């Protein structure tokens, strides 16, 4: 049921939108009060599982700090204003700046939460087209850009990311990922812990390679430490063993592969022994790992944040694909497969020729390449701060907090404070939006419908589910897509050249987000099309199945689904092969230079999701979680004990943080969690500011990037740690 009437107790079923797992939830309500949230046992995908974050659906909805109406920043604080006044002021300021300095003088930044709102995603895309600026940035380049980069070059489309067939594989190799906590980022998989235990129960094997013994490593058969940033060498060594020992067996795709001889040639020098010093791995273990992976009945290698957000992120994701391909584990059950969602956004985009792009233009200051019409966000601050033609003078942010989520947050703060104009579509005054001149708050998820446009493309099983709103929105509230629509109309009013043609305007008004989903499902490969007698899917049929519809396991689909021009896979794309020289030169130089610094990596907690949930009391209570994890030997050398306060400094900044001494860390490596740092002035986050922690991105470096893809290198940052003062030992 989707509505609440009177004081009668009702039950509402929907998909949790707080992470990628798409867990089904059952919410009991009375009038406007949420009584309970539990897992939906009849959900077609999650089967009753939820993680602790699901309770935040209630906490954020009821949060007194959440903005409900537009606000303007004044000398005396934030002032509520009407929607018409706010929208008109935004359009007036943006048009004026673009008329004086050019369209690219206004930049945009889109955060991860936007992907969790299908209507915001569709409406935001329309708005960016209306803005006509090429200065686009998003959280993609501090997250999964290397995945898209490699998919574009190997499979012809930036969304063609193979997904581990988790429920059928016999060997899962996880490198730089922690799916037990993340619920399988870029591998939507509710109840990962149970699924991994099922893998082992059916005689399969789980191996984790990570500089930290993570929650996933704790339940694995084998855990191998690896030095941050050296994963590409480890992958090359595994490939070298497989190629040298005749273990190559690409299977059904053998006659669709180009460049295998070239792969064999560039892997030749990278024996496990030759990379042992740089990776910190045991050559015998690496050889056995490569052999076991190649000989497994089915196997899949999965790499995530640890290998994406480092200086060789694109190489890592490419070599992971090669490992799956040469062992015959691409596009087969138990290997790496592609989804076939009800709303096939990949197929739709490809049909319109939108497969992605690379290096069509470069940033003004540092010359970083675009990918998918976006610039790397590590360049945003310098593009604002550096004077001259093309300087960014205004910024639009949507559902993002780049001060905490992008490298060198302090420099970005400096840049934001000097903007001529800034507007944020957000419902919190946080570390980023406090710099905005206007904040336009959208409704919260429980007040709008929900459909996962992106995560069905990345799921371990084909399912579909649509959620109706739980609560009606307030009369003076706007959904995110309505905000974008009003801004588009106001831009056209202040600049008639942006006014759409009559037919386009009519189509834009008719094609609401919900109608877009209905059309996408109807015209998808599983849809009813225009045949009124078809048994295929329609939105109404999906809505009628309030627990979702199971569309079956992943199925082989190559070569038909390949988006390359010749329907073949080039294993050796020129930009990636050329980048091997950078890898070799880097580690040749590192071998001749002594380094006494420690290497910093991030981590996440099952009760948080970036910086989203720190203003909910239940998620910040208990022992302090923003700590510096450090191996006992590293702590002893610096005279640090459990609970002591340490200073951590890098090229870009310095933080003070309590130490947590633990053998789960690899010697020489330290870890600080992502998403904290709520000590900035001017926040309206009463709970978060009492549990401020420190921001790991006050230490990361905007110049430390994957030079090939442009993705930020947030892992492997060189830091120095010194003792400050003794504190109370941690419990």
pLDDT in tens, 159-209: 999 999 999 999 999 999 999 999 989 999 999 999 999 999 999 999 999
pLDDT at 725: 67
| Residue 628 contacts residue 660 (beta carbons within 8 Å) | yes
The token duo for 221 is: 């058969």
Report CA-CA distances (Å) from 41 to 180, 422, 548. Answer: 20, 44, 11
Residue boundaries of the structural domains of the chain: 9-62, 71-142+345-553, 161-337, 595-725
Q: Check: CB of residue 51 under 8 Å from CB of residue 606.
A: yes
- Per-residue pLDDT at 548: 97
The strand ranges marked E within 448-503 are 450-451, 461-464, 466-467
pLDDT at residue 596, as a whole number: 65
- Per-residue tokens: 492: 């056209």
b/e 636-659 (16+ beta carbons within 10 angstroms → b): eeeebebbbebbbebebbebebbb
**Which CATH class for the 71-142+345-553 domain?**
alpha beta
Q: How many CB atoms lie within 10 A of CB 594?
A: 5
- The pTM of the full predicted model, rounded to 2 decimals, is 0.96
User: pLDDT, tens digit, for every residue of 564-592?
Assistant: 999 999 999 999 999 999 999 999 887 65
Return the CATH number of the domain spanning residue range 9-62.
Answer: 2.20.25.90
Tokens linked to 9: 């107790």
Write the pLDDT tens digit of every residue in 334-381: 999 999 999 998 888 776 667 889 999 999 999 999 999 999 999 999
* pLDDT in the model for residue 730: 43
Q: Which residues of the chain have pLDDT under 50?
A: 1-6, 593, 727-731
Alpha helices for 523-596 (secondary structure H): 539-544, 574-591
β-pairing, 358-362 with 369-371? Answer: antiparallel
CATH number of the domain at 595-725, out of 2.40.50.140, 3.30.1330.50, 2.40.30.20, 2.40.40.20?
2.40.40.20
pLDDT at 607: 81
**Distance in angstroms (rounded) separating the CA atoms of residues 316 and 98:** 40
Nearest one of 621, 634, 590 to 687, comparing CA atoms = 621
Cα separation, 724 vs 562, whole angstroms:
56
Instruction: Classify strands 205-209 and 222-224 as parallel, antiparallel or unpaired.
Output: parallel
Query: In 61-177, which ranges are E strands?
Result: 71-74, 77-80, 106-110, 136-138, 163-164, 171-175
Strand partners, 36: 28
The Cα diameter of the chain in Å comes to 76
CATH 3.90.1580.10 fits 161-337, yes or no: no
Distance from C-alpha of 356 to C-alpha of 158, rounded to nearest angstrom: 6
**Any idea of the CA torsion for 309, 313, 319, 323, to the nearest 10 degrees?**
10
Peptide bond preceding 449: is omega within 30 degrees of 0, i.e. cis? Answer: no
Strands 598-601 and 717-725: antiparallel
Residue 244: exposure state from Cβ atoms within 10 A (0-12, 13-18, ≥19): middle
CA 269, 270, 274: angle at the middle one, nearest 5? 105
Each residue's pLDDT tens digit, 408-442: 999 999 999 999 999 999 999 999 999 999 999 99
Which residue, among 698, 673, 668, 663, has the nearest Cα to 597 in the 3D structure?
Answer: 668
Question: Contact at 8 Å (CB) between 342 and 537?
Answer: yes
């Amino acid at each position: 049921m989707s509505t609440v009437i009177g004081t009668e107790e009702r039950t509402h079923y929907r998909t949790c939108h707080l992470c990628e797992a798409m867990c089904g939830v059952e919410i009991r309500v009375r009038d406007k009060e949420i009584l309970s949230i539990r897992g939906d046992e009849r959900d077609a995908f999650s089967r009753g599982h939820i993680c602790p974050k699901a309770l935040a659906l209630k906490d954020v909805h009821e949060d007194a700090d959440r903005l409900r109406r537009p606000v303007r920043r004044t000398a005396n604080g934030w002032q509520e204003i009407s929607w018409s006044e706010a929208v008109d002021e935004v359009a007036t300021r943006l048009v004026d700046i673009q008329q004086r300095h050019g369209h690219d003088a206004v930049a945009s930044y889109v955060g991860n939460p936007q992907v969790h709102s299908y209507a915001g995603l569709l409406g935001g895309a329309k708005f960016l087209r209306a803005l006509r600026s090429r200065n686009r940035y998003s959280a993609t380049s501090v997250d999964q850009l290397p995945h898209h980069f490699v998919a574009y070059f190997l499979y012809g489309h930036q969304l063609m990311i193979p997904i581990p067939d988790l429920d059928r594989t016999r060997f899962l190799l996880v490198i730089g990922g922690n799916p037990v906590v993340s619920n399988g980022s870029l591998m939507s998989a509710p109840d990962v812990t149970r699924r991994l235990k099922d893998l082992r129960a059916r005689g399969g094997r789980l191996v984790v390679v990570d500089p930290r013994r993570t929650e996933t490593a704790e339940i694995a058969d084998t855990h191998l430490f690896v030095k941050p940033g050296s994963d590409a060498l480890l992958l090359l060594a595994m490939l070298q063993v497989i190629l040298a020992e005749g273990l190559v067996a690409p299977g059904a795709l053998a006659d669709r592969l180009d460049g295998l001889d070239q792969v064999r040639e560039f892997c030749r020098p990278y024996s496990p022994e030759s990379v042992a010093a740089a990776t910190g791995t045991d050559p015998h273990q690496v050889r056995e790992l490569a052999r076991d992976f190649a000989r497994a009945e089915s196997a899949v290698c999965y790499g995530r944040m640890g290998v994406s957000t480092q200086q060789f992120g694109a190489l890592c994701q490419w070599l992971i694909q090669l490992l799956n391909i040469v062992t015959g584990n691409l596009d087969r059950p138990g290997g790496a497969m592609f989804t076939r969602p009800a709303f096939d956004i990949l197929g739709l985009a490809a049909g319109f020729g939108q497969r992605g792009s690379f290096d069509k233009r470069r940033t003004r200051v540092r010359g970083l390449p675009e990918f998918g019409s976006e610039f790397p966000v590590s360049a945003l601050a310098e593009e604002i701060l550096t004077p001259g033609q093309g300087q960014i003078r205004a910024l639009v942010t949507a559902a993002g907090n780049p001060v905490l989520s992008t490298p060198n947050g302090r420099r970005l703060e400096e840049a934001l404070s000097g903007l001529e104009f800034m507007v944020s579509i957000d419902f919190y005054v946080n570390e980023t939006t406090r710099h905005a001149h206007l904040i336009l708050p959208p409704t919260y998820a429980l007040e709008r419908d929900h459909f996962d446009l992106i995560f069905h493309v990345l799921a371990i099983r084909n399912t579909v589910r649509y959620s109706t709103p739980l609560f009606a929105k307030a009369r003076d509230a706007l959904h995110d897509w309505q905000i974008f629509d009003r801004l588009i109309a106001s831009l056209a009013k202040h600049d008639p050249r942006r006014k759409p043609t009559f037919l386009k305007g009519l189509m834009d008004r008719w094609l609401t987000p919900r109608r877009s989903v209905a059309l996408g499902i109807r015209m998808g490969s599983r849809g009813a099309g225009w045949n009124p007698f078809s048994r295929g899917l329609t939105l109404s049929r999906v809505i009628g199945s309030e627990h979702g519809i199971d569309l079956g396991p992943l199925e082989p689909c190559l070569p038909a689904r390949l988006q390359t021009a010749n329907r073949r896979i080039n294993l050796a794309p020129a930009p990636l092969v050329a980048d091997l020289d950078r890898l070799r030169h880097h580690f040749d130089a590192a071998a001749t230079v002594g380094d006494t610094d420690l290497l910093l990596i991030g981590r996440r907690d099952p009760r948080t999701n970036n910086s989203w949930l720190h203003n909910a009391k239940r998620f910040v209570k208990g022992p302090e979680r923003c700590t510096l994890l450090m191996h006992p030997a590293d702590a002893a050398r610096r005279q640090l004990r459990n609970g002591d306060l340490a200073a951590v400094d890098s090229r870009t900044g310095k933080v003070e943080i309590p130490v947590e001494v633990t053998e789960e860390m690899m010697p020489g490596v330290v870890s600080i969690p992502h998403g904290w740092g709520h000590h900035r002035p001017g926040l309206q986050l009463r709970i978060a500011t009492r549990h401020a922690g420190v921001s790991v991105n006050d230490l990361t470096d905007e110049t430390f990037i994957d030079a090939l893809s442009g993705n930020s290198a947030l892992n492997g940052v060189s830091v120095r740690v010194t003792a400050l003062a003794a504190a109370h030992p941690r419990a």
